[in-house]
């Protein structure tokens, strides 16, 4: 049965495979960058970033030699910024300790920061032809449906089963095509909702389809609703420069730059909160804009005020703000400044 499933999948893939920049002539560095960029991110979203990244950092050495500031700037907008910092750190390790060559084994790859089991399997199979499985969210969806696996996503029980199933199916010498076929199928036909079972190469082997419960796999534990938190930010001007500061090296938006801000519990109290924190003169009537955005673990709302006063940070001309990596909200403030101050 395993061979039939793998054959059906490989035949489908041979006819349907998409052309991707790192897929046709898999070069290890390119595969690594692409796989990290694709973590928790749709291919359509990361593709423009990938092209820009490869143009600026075409190989391990250019990446290792770059500044973290520039690395983060190229990553800005993609999210999960520790991926960029880990890529940068790993490149420096590879250049310094491995003669600029990426390890070829799953175990060796997993020693590098930012490379877990999935990414190690993907690089080993796609770039080095190793017979390693690579189970991502798409593969989990396909496998839980084909084998009607009922443990919930994220549980160790399901993790063991999907990896065991993937490894059992893995056709010798064709891990790269098999892994990518599984992911392509999950990203396309075997979608979370409204899967196109009529055209699925695995329909005849799919237990969930036979039971009519495709959309009930994989089983997911209920998520916590995102808490909402409110912040008030200030724009301090000195000539044509504004004050920004760098965030801590750990946690949310680590090492990115932001406009000085304080958390407020009631947006209407923004002015009082700002005064208490810094005792500058705050002018809420000159508010530039109100922004709102969902982060992975809370919903942030940012109100922007102009203020006078002195705070720790760096004065940066508005025209140079683009070289300072920021999260989405702060970038929107920076973009709005041209009009507001111009």
Active site members: 35
- Of the residues 4, 52, 220, 238, which one makes contact with DNA according to CB under 7 A: 220
The CA R_g of the chain, rounded to the nearest whole Å, is 24
Residue 292 sits at φ, ψ, to 5 deg, of: -145, 140
DSSP assignment of 162-181 equals HHHHHHHH--TT-HHHHHHH
- Of the residues 3, 24, 99, 193, which one makes contact with DNA according to CB under 7 A: 193
User: Strand, coil or helix: what is 208?
Assistant: helix
User: Strand, coil or helix: what is 246?
Assistant: strand
- Of the residues 59, 61, 69, 82, which one makes contact with DNA according to CB under 7 A: 82
Q: Does 245 bind DNA (CB under 7 A)?
A: no
Q: How far apart, in whole angstroms, are the C-alpha atoms of residue 217 and residue 222? A: 14
Q: Does 69 bind DNA (CB under 7 A)?
A: no
Q: Does 308 bind DNA (CB under 7 A)?
A: no
Toward DNA, which CB reaches closer, 42 or 285?
Answer: 42
- Of the residues 48, 154, 173, 317, which one makes contact with DNA according to CB under 7 A: 154
Q: Does 38 bind DNA (CB under 7 A)?
A: yes
299 has which bridge partners?
228, 294
290 has which bridge partners?
303
Q: What residue has token string 């090492």? A: 255
Task: Compute the least distance from the CB of residue 94 to DNA, in Å.
Answer: 14
Residue 260 sits at φ, ψ, to 5 deg, of: -50, 135
Which segment (99-107, 161-169, 177-185, 258-266) binds DNA by CB under 7 A?
Answer: 177-185
Which segment (97-105, 108-116, 307-315, 316-324) binds DNA by CB under 7 A?
Answer: 108-116
Task: Compute the least distance from the CB of residue 281 to DNA, in Å.
Answer: 30
Q: How far apart, in whole angstroms, are the C-alpha atoms of residue 135 and residue 119? A: 9
Q: How far apart, in whole angstroms, are the C-alpha atoms of residue 25 and residue 27? A: 6
Total residues contacting DNA (rule CB under 7 A)?
A: 60
Task: State the residues that interact with DNA by CB under 7 A.
Answer: 18, 20, 23, 34-35, 38-45, 77-82, 86, 110, 113-120, 136-138, 141, 154-156, 180, 183-184, 186-187, 192-193, 220, 222-225, 251-254, 293-297, 327-329
């Amino acid at each position: 049965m395993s061979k039939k499933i793998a054959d059906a999948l490989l035949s489908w893939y041979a006819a349907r495979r998409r052309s991707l920049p790192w897929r046709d002539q898999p070069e290890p560095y390119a595969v690594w960058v692409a796989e990290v960029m694709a973590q928790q991110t749709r291919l359509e979203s990361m593709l423009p970033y990938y092209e820009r990244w490869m143009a600026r950092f075409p190989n391990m050495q250019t990446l290792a030699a770059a500044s973290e500031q520039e690395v983060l700037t190229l990553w800005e907008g993609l999210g999960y910024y520790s991926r960029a910092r880990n890529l940068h750190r790993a490149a420096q390790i590879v250049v310094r300790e491995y003669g600029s060559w990426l390890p070829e084994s799953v175990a060796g790859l997993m020693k590098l920061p930012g490379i877990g089991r999935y990414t190690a399997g993907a690089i080993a199979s796609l770039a080095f032809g190793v017979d390693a499985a690579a189970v991502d969210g798409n593969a989990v969806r396909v496998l839980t449906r084909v084998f009607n696996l009922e443990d919930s996503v994220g549980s160790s029980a399901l993790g063991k089963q999907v990896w065991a199933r993937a490894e059992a199916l893995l056709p010798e010498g064709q891990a790269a095509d098999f892994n990518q076929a599984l992911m392509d199928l999950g990203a396309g036909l075997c979608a979370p909702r409204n899967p196109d079972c009529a055209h699925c190469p695995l329909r005849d082997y799919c237990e969930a389809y036979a039971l009519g419960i495709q959309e009930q796999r994989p089983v997911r534990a209920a998520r916590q609703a995102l808490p909402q938190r409110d912040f008030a930010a200030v724009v301090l001007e000195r000539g044509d420069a504004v004050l920004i500061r760098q965030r801590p090296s750990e946690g949310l938006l680590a090492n990115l730059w932001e406009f000085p801000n304080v958390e407020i519990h009631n947006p209407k109290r923004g002015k009082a909160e700002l005064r208490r924190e810094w005792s500058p003169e705050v002018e809420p009537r000159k508010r530039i804009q109100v922004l709102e955005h969902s982060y992975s673990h809370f919903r942030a709302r940012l109100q922007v005020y102009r203020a006078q006063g002195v705070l720790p940070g760096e004065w940066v001309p508005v025209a140079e703000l683009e070289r300072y990596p920021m999260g989405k909200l702060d970038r929107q403030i920076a973009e709005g400044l041209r009009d507001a101050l111009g």
